[in-house]
Amino acid sequence: MADIPGAQRPALGGGPEPRDPLDCWACAVLVTAQNLLVAAFNLLLLALVLGTILLPAVTMLGFGFLCHSQFLRSQAPPCTAHLRDPGFTALLVTGFLLLLPLLVLALASYRRLCLRLRLADCLVPYSRALYRRRQGTLQPKQTRPSPGAQPLPTPGKVWV
Protein backbone atom coordinates (compact mmCIF):
# COMPACT_ATOMS: atom_id res chain seq x y z
CA MET A 1 0.00 0.00 0.00
CA ALA A 2 1.49 3.35 -1.03
CA ASP A 3 1.98 6.17 1.44
CA ILE A 4 -0.36 9.09 0.86
CA PRO A 5 1.17 12.47 1.73
CA GLY A 6 -0.43 13.94 4.82
CA ALA A 7 -2.17 10.71 5.82
CA GLN A 8 -1.75 9.60 9.42
CA ARG A 9 -1.82 6.06 10.70
CA PRO A 10 -1.95 4.95 14.32
CA ALA A 11 1.38 3.87 15.76
CA LEU A 12 0.03 0.63 17.26
CA GLY A 13 -2.42 -1.73 15.57
CA GLY A 14 -5.94 -2.32 16.78
CA GLY A 15 -8.79 -0.02 17.56
CA PRO A 16 -10.29 1.09 20.84
CA GLU A 17 -11.16 -1.63 23.28
CA PRO A 18 -14.65 -1.98 24.83
CA ARG A 19 -15.13 -0.92 28.44
CA ASP A 20 -16.42 -3.14 31.22
CA PRO A 21 -20.23 -2.95 31.65
CA LEU A 22 -20.07 -1.08 34.97
CA ASP A 23 -17.40 1.28 33.68
CA CYS A 24 -19.41 1.80 30.50
CA TRP A 25 -22.52 2.67 32.52
CA ALA A 26 -20.66 5.13 34.74
CA CYS A 27 -19.03 6.82 31.74
CA ALA A 28 -22.39 7.02 29.96
CA VAL A 29 -23.88 8.80 32.99
CA LEU A 30 -20.98 11.26 33.07
CA VAL A 31 -21.15 11.88 29.31
CA THR A 32 -24.90 12.44 29.55
CA ALA A 33 -24.46 14.85 32.47
CA GLN A 34 -21.82 16.86 30.62
CA ASN A 35 -23.88 16.99 27.43
CA LEU A 36 -26.96 18.12 29.39
CA LEU A 37 -24.95 20.89 31.08
CA VAL A 38 -23.66 22.08 27.72
CA ALA A 39 -27.20 21.98 26.30
CA ALA A 40 -28.54 23.96 29.28
CA PHE A 41 -25.80 26.56 28.83
CA ASN A 42 -26.65 26.78 25.12
CA LEU A 43 -30.34 27.34 25.89
CA LEU A 44 -29.48 29.98 28.50
CA LEU A 45 -27.20 31.75 26.04
CA LEU A 46 -29.86 31.56 23.31
CA ALA A 47 -32.52 32.98 25.63
CA LEU A 48 -30.20 35.79 26.71
CA VAL A 49 -29.27 36.77 23.14
CA LEU A 50 -32.84 36.49 21.80
CA GLY A 51 -34.28 38.33 24.78
CA THR A 52 -31.80 41.18 24.46
CA ILE A 53 -32.06 41.71 20.71
CA LEU A 54 -35.82 41.10 20.34
CA LEU A 55 -36.75 43.35 23.29
CA PRO A 56 -37.81 46.41 21.20
CA ALA A 57 -40.12 44.40 18.93
CA VAL A 58 -41.62 42.44 21.83
CA THR A 59 -42.22 45.66 23.77
CA MET A 60 -44.02 47.25 20.83
CA LEU A 61 -46.16 44.17 20.29
CA GLY A 62 -46.92 43.89 23.99
CA PHE A 63 -48.13 47.49 24.29
CA GLY A 64 -50.00 47.24 21.00
CA PHE A 65 -51.95 44.14 22.04
CA LEU A 66 -52.40 45.31 25.63
CA CYS A 67 -53.81 48.73 24.82
CA HIS A 68 -55.66 48.37 21.50
CA SER A 69 -59.44 48.42 21.86
CA GLN A 70 -59.93 45.34 19.65
CA PHE A 71 -57.82 43.13 21.93
CA LEU A 72 -57.57 43.71 25.69
CA ARG A 73 -58.65 47.37 26.02
CA SER A 74 -56.63 48.02 29.14
CA GLN A 75 -57.32 51.16 31.15
CA ALA A 76 -53.77 51.36 32.53
CA PRO A 77 -52.26 54.89 32.66
CA PRO A 78 -49.71 54.30 29.84
CA CYS A 79 -52.53 53.16 27.55
CA THR A 80 -54.94 56.03 28.11
CA ALA A 81 -52.48 58.92 28.58
CA HIS A 82 -50.31 58.72 25.47
CA LEU A 83 -51.90 57.01 22.46
CA ARG A 84 -55.23 56.08 20.93
CA ASP A 85 -56.12 53.14 18.67
CA PRO A 86 -54.27 54.38 15.54
CA GLY A 87 -51.09 54.73 17.59
CA PHE A 88 -51.43 51.22 18.97
CA THR A 89 -52.06 49.92 15.45
CA ALA A 90 -48.82 51.59 14.38
CA LEU A 91 -47.05 49.93 17.31
CA LEU A 92 -48.38 46.54 16.23
CA VAL A 93 -47.37 47.01 12.59
CA THR A 94 -43.91 48.30 13.50
CA GLY A 95 -43.40 45.49 16.00
CA PHE A 96 -44.29 42.84 13.42
CA LEU A 97 -42.07 44.49 10.79
CA LEU A 98 -39.10 44.60 13.17
CA LEU A 99 -39.57 41.05 14.40
CA LEU A 100 -38.09 39.15 11.45
CA PRO A 101 -34.94 41.26 10.88
CA LEU A 102 -34.19 41.31 14.59
CA LEU A 103 -34.72 37.54 14.77
CA VAL A 104 -32.21 37.02 11.94
CA LEU A 105 -29.75 39.35 13.68
CA ALA A 106 -30.20 37.55 17.00
CA LEU A 107 -29.67 34.08 15.51
CA ALA A 108 -26.59 35.24 13.61
CA SER A 109 -25.09 36.76 16.74
CA TYR A 110 -25.90 33.60 18.73
CA ARG A 111 -24.16 31.47 16.09
CA ARG A 112 -21.11 33.74 16.10
CA LEU A 113 -20.97 33.64 19.88
CA CYS A 114 -21.23 29.84 19.90
CA LEU A 115 -18.42 29.57 17.36
CA ARG A 116 -16.25 31.98 19.33
CA LEU A 117 -16.85 30.11 22.60
CA ARG A 118 -16.41 26.75 20.78
CA LEU A 119 -19.42 25.25 22.53
CA ALA A 120 -19.68 22.37 20.05
CA ASP A 121 -16.29 21.13 21.23
CA CYS A 122 -17.71 20.67 24.74
CA LEU A 123 -20.13 17.96 23.61
CA VAL A 124 -18.76 14.47 24.22
CA PRO A 125 -19.68 11.61 21.85
CA TYR A 126 -21.13 8.47 23.42
CA SER A 127 -18.41 6.35 21.83
CA ARG A 128 -16.14 7.65 24.60
CA ALA A 129 -18.42 5.96 27.11
CA LEU A 130 -18.47 2.65 25.25
CA TYR A 131 -14.84 2.34 24.21
CA ARG A 132 -11.54 3.02 25.91
CA ARG A 133 -8.61 4.27 23.87
CA ARG A 134 -5.45 2.25 23.94
CA GLN A 135 -2.27 3.98 25.01
CA GLY A 136 -0.56 3.85 21.62
CA THR A 137 -3.46 5.18 19.54
CA LEU A 138 -3.41 8.67 20.99
CA GLN A 139 -0.43 9.86 18.94
CA PRO A 140 -0.61 9.29 15.19
CA LYS A 141 2.47 8.23 13.27
CA GLN A 142 4.01 11.14 11.39
CA THR A 143 4.67 10.48 7.72
CA ARG A 144 6.80 12.68 5.50
CA PRO A 145 5.83 13.24 1.89
CA SER A 146 8.24 12.04 -0.73
CA PRO A 147 10.55 14.71 -2.22
CA GLY A 148 8.69 14.88 -5.56
CA ALA A 149 5.17 14.96 -4.10
CA GLN A 150 2.98 18.04 -4.38
CA PRO A 151 1.91 19.54 -1.02
CA LEU A 152 -1.77 19.25 -0.21
CA PRO A 153 -3.64 22.57 -0.38
CA THR A 154 -4.65 23.96 2.97
CA PRO A 155 -8.27 25.04 3.38
CA GLY A 156 -8.80 28.78 3.64
CA LYS A 157 -11.65 31.21 3.87
CA VAL A 158 -13.80 31.49 0.78
CA TRP A 159 -16.28 34.29 0.32
CA VAL A 160 -19.35 33.29 -1.64
106-149: per-residue pLDDT in tens? 999 999 999 999 988 888 877 666 666 665 544 455 555 556 66
Question: Domain tally for the chain?
Answer: 1
pLDDT in the model for residue 152: 59
Determine the pLDDT at residue 110.
95
- Could you give the 3-state DSSP secondary structure of residue 141? strand
CA distances from 94 to 6, 26, 62 (A): 56, 53, 12
Query: Does residue 156 belong to any structural domain of this protein?
Result: no
Domain extent for 19: 15-134
The answer to whether residue 144 is domain-embedded is no
- Find out whether 91 and 63 touch, Cβ atoms under 8 Å: yes
pLDDT(53) > 70? yes
Residues for the chain: how many in total? Answer: 160
Q: Which residue has the higher pLDDT, 157 or 160?
A: 157
- Does the residue 9 lie in any domain? no
Q: How many CA atoms lie within 13 A of 22 on its CB side?
A: 0
Per-residue pLDDT, 11: 47
Give the count of alpha carbons within 13 A of 65, CB side only: 7
* In the predicted structure, residue 95 carries a pLDDT above the cut 90: yes
Q: Which amino acid is at 96?
A: F
Q: Is residue 157 part of a domain?
A: no
